[in-house]
Structure 1
Amino acid sequence: MFNVIHQKLDSGSRLIMVPMSSLKSITALVLVNTGSRYEESTKLGAAHLLEHLVFKGTKNYPDGYKLSIALDSIGASSNAFTSKEYTGFYVTAASNHLEYCLKILKELVFFPLIRPHDVDSEKSVVIEEIKMYRDSPDDFISDEYEQAIYRGTSLEHPICGTIESVQRQSAASLREFLQKWYGLENITLVIAGDELELNKPDLLKNILKIFSEKDIAKTRSKNHVLNRANGHQQRRQKFLTNNSLFSDEKLIKRQRPTEQAHVVLGWPALERDHPQRFALNLLSTIMGGNRSSRLFYTVREQANLAYYVYSDVDQYHDGGLLGVSAGLNLEKKEEGIKLITDEFMQLVDGTKPLSEAELKRAKDYLTGRIYLGLENSNSVARHYGLSHLLYGRIEHPQEVVEGINSVKLEQIEKLAKKLISAKEMRLAVVSPD
């Protein structure tokens, strides 16, 4: 579908270029191979706070206003994001500004100023962000759920950190985090968009000049290279899921003066690169992935117990979770929880087996969402960048579609029986009682 150009640079960075026809825009994306789960327990929130801080000023754009002018003057869109396992920074603009965008990205990733007064001001912003999430019952219970079920592992680290851990951050601690993780060997640079721009003969030479190893190495005397082992074949021979990631806590209850009971429940599931990952995503889609899913129809449309109800899959390099979230009628929350769990248990015991029509609809839905994501350079850059960063290889969208379409009904039913049980379910509820 795309003629992807991929190479490892002498500096240790990975470069991925994805020429796209009929586009006059580009997205330049830098992915850093670290996230909240790699933070020290006393410095939670460092990855996320650093992601904020780079926009406060860099070597050549010493304040946020000058940086905003640089981006606005070419009509660019720029942002950043932090997850548990990676961090990303991107600029999207008209394709004739590609090299300009690359220079800005270099500034953001390698030359942020991280001044004490900027740290203090941005700490206040992030603390308000944390309070915002805690004021949102569905966000609050999702965070509480993750911290409880992953207790004792690095996955319990909240991406934003805690108010206390953010308050403890300093310019020195953030520079230390930058020094440790933001080395060239931990960077993937992805450029997707206008094929005429990406096929210019001098582009690679200019990229190497902009991301000069000699220039950047001066700022990184030491850095930690994260090497996540993909494929846990030895463990998979004995166990389908990595239950060592999960605590024994099965019920998490929190009291808040809410108008609904916000619920999260789920089961340990597969790591990101597991051979059965396509079957897992189809199972989630059938159960609660869209408006025609079983949970949406039974819990919302038939029983009228919820406004939102959906299932999703969280996957990491060493484990995963099949989860359901719902906002339930307060007086009927027990009925709603039972209705949700019954849908899964009836699938497992064969009372409500999957149908070929459901499977086809789920396959077509996921395929359609994949192809819709190929219509803009930002989505394409993320797809290729994250597939290489997280899987260690280039995974084309067509390969994903083929993997989805290869799944048989029996595979999903067999997987569901192995994953879903009352014993392994974890449940979290926030409500007034």
Structure 2
Amino acid sequence: MESNERNRPAPVPAPAAGRNSAPAGAAPALVNWDLAASTAAAMVAPGPKMTAREIRAAVADLRAAADASVAHVHRITGLEAARDLRDSDVLIVDRASWARANSQSFSVLMGPALQHLAETRPDQLDAANTAVGGAVTGAQLGAILAFLSSKVLGQYDPFAALGGVGKPGGRLLLVAPNIVTLERELNVEPADFRLWVCLHEQTHRVQFAAAPWLRGHLLEQISELSNGMMDTASTLSERLGSAVKALTAPKDGLDADGVPHKSVDLLSLLQDPRDKERLSHLTAVMSLLEGHANVVMDAVDAGIVPSVKTIRQRFNNRGAKRNWMDRFFRQILGLDAKMRQYSDGARFVRAVTSRVGMEGFNRVWERPENLPTEAEIHSADLWISRMGL
């Protein structure tokens, strides 16, 4: 499905020579990014059965829906950035191309942390170990990307551009096979479903255009979190032991010593205090971005997406039909936590806009200090008060 024709899923380009942000030398060898992409491509599940004509029609429809959705995002959000999005791309891709795109983005996101490890622990990074470890890690990442490649409907990727891929602003990826598969599974009107999905994904594109500082801020926070985890790796075994002990304690009432048992947050047990703060901040930001996009996609009425209520109801109910293997992978990969971000963030956005309107809410895009904390995500009045609204 990868070709250069207008009405075919677009191939994801390779990084430009000399512009890959992954560090030179030892750092890139820690993860074989090319192997990750090729492994994912070899393992991706087959897409829906479609004729060449159906594929071309679906791609054309998705492009049209992506174009049409921008005006709706502008009207709903009031963000002027939606008027001109020429510094980023919209690509209709297949599953293998999505996996390749994400291997490129991971190389950008992990580049600073891998370089930090190479600079602070060079004695642990001899050529033989990094070559073997890089191949193993690359293959493992490829397997994860292969699984995820059949789950993702769309994704705005602002990071690959930092590695010399695509336009400077980033790229929006719409995964055609997954959109078609899900619209068939839900038995909904394809044109309505495709526009509904594009409303969500184009909102992410507009968010980063409205807050050009956001990409750098997220990259900095992710790098600091990764560096912090590597700096405290020597105590990981001890912390993991504590986590296992806590997780295996009785879950109902008292533990073996008669002490009331409390719910366990595995991530909090595995991070030091600074890591907790960074993770909390990133959780809040991702909740904001996902919740805002969900509010926009559900703000359209039946005049724009006639079957929007049916789509949302069936989309929300589909989780009950997942098999045990799918539920297992969703849990260990954090996909269920991501779904909670959607709902938590949407409640925050609706609470704020109901009090101070969309214009007041849009102050969140002005500077990093205006981003909500995790506590504010769960109590919008705290953010409204801090903003002086």
Q: Where on the TM-score scale, by shorter chain, does this alignment land: which range?
A: under 0.3
TM-score, L = length of structure 2: 0.26
Structure (1 or 2) with the greater strand fraction: 1
Which of 1 and 2 has greater Rg?
1
TM-score, L = length of structure 1: 0.24
Structure (1 or 2) with the greater helix fraction: 2
